[in-house]
């Protein structure tokens, strides 16, 4: 799903090459990593991390587009599960007791057929052996697409 190559019999979603060469951040091992620092002064966050580095036009972007726009929802659960195993080993995520996916507006979810965040969250929760809570957060209005905004524009409300 990342490189377009045919998978071997024992491979699932990602080929072995991509599995080991996608650019992992390992931010879950650092308390004051670049992701957590983006929240400083905005909202109180105990810890934050990202699984992969994102590069425009790269394999991670291709994976995300397959998940979000091309109906490949199994990518979300697969990547979530892999990250969940890593997070479970991190001292900064050992006390997590549930996963809350970011909800889509109901019309967008019906149009897409699923919520990509929920797919990722289900993999995380399964690997970490914790609750997947889909009833606490609710999106009550549609928001405009973030894809055309700058990084700063995405932070503005």
Cβ-based burial of 121 (10 A; exposed 0-12, middle 13-18, buried ≥19): buried
Q: Domains of the chain: which residue ranges?
A: 16-155
Summarised one tens digit per residue, pLDDT across range 137-157 is 988 888 777 777 777 776 665
**Token pair of 75 as six digits:** 């990518």
Summarised one tens digit per residue, pLDDT across range 32-56 is 999 999 999 988 999 999 999 999 9
Cβ-based burial of 85 (10 A; exposed 0-12, middle 13-18, buried ≥19): middle
Which parts of the chain sit beneath pLDDT 70? 154-157
Prediction pTM value: 0.87
- Judged by DSSP in three states, 27 sits in helix
Q: What is the structure's pLDDT at 155?
A: 64
Q: What is the structure's pLDDT at 156?
A: 66
Q: Give strand pairing partners of 14.
A: 12
């Amino acid at each position: 799903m990342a490189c377009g190559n045919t998978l071997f019999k024992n491979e699932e979603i990602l080929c072995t090459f991509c599995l080991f060469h996608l650019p992992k951040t390992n931010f879950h091992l650092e308390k004051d990593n670049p992701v957590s620092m983006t929240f400083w002064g905005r909202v109180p966050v105990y810890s934050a991390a990202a699984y992969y580095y994102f590069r425009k036009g790269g394999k991670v972007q291709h994976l995300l587009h397959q998940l979000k726009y091309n109906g490949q929802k199994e990518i979300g659960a697969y990547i979530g599960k892999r990250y969940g195993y890593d997070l479970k080993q991190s001292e900064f995520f050992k006390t997590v007791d549930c996963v809350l996916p970011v909800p889509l507006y109901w019309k967008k979810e019906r149009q897409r057929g699923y919520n990509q965040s929920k797919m990722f969250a289900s993999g995380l929760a399964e690997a970490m052996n914790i609750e997947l809570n889909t009833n606490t957060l609710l999106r009550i209005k549609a928001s405009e697409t973030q894809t055309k905004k700058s990084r700063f524009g995405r932070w503005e409300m």
